[in-house]
Amino acid sequence: MLSDYIFKSTRRTQITYPKDAALIVMFSGIGPSSRVVEAGAGTGALTTALAHYVRPHGKVYSYELRGEFINTAMKNLQRAGLLTFVELKNKDVTMGIDEKEIDAVILDLASPWAVAEHAYTSLKPSGSIVSFSPTIDQVVKMAEALAENSFTDVRSYECLLREMQVVRGKTRPETLMTGHTGYITFARKATRPQP
């Protein structure tokens, strides 16, 4: 199961939880044959989910600054059988995106607002950008950068997940839950530049 590959991945950084990966995939609109730029590969947990959904003819171009993270991500992607759908790039995405006519740009990095302009240039019309950020200050800066770069339909969410203990006569929410992991901000490239 896909969530097994994510939870049981070799970790050198925090992983993207399946609850967040599911929202990212759903709201980004990616699917088979999509071309996706991802930045902040880390362990490759989110990369694994993205590659799973773009196969068999799509591609994930994953930008990562740290070589040791690229090696970890590569091993995790190989273990999941998804490495052929990913190109790992040891590059700084804030300096630019090589790919053009991309379906989605997905960011999990400290300063996603530094990528907004590059993302707009690389995305297809109506393409989506998704940013995962642990703090609300990052969300505010990202929303402002998206508006400044003619993105539309800017929305931010927090996804909380609580399992239920289901036993006849004792059904209730579990005491422990996966609470705050981060905020997810989505936007679309305008089909025409905004005035």
Angle at 127 between CA 19 and CA 140, to 5 degrees: 60
Block mean pLDDT (10 aa), the chain, length 195 = 52 66 93 96 91 96 94 92 97 97 96 98 97 95 97 92 88 80 92 59
The tally of CA atoms less than 13 A away on the side-chain side of residue 4 is 3
pLDDT value of residue 38: 97
- CB of 109 within 8 A of CB of 91? no
Note the pTM of the prediction, 2 decimals.
0.86
Per-state percent for the chain, helix, strand, coil, to nearest 5: 35, 25, 35
Residue 9's pLDDT is 52
What pLDDT is recorded for position 12?
Answer: 53
User: What is the predicted pLDDT for the residue at 195?
Assistant: 53
Could you give the domains of the chain? 2-189 (3.40.50.150)
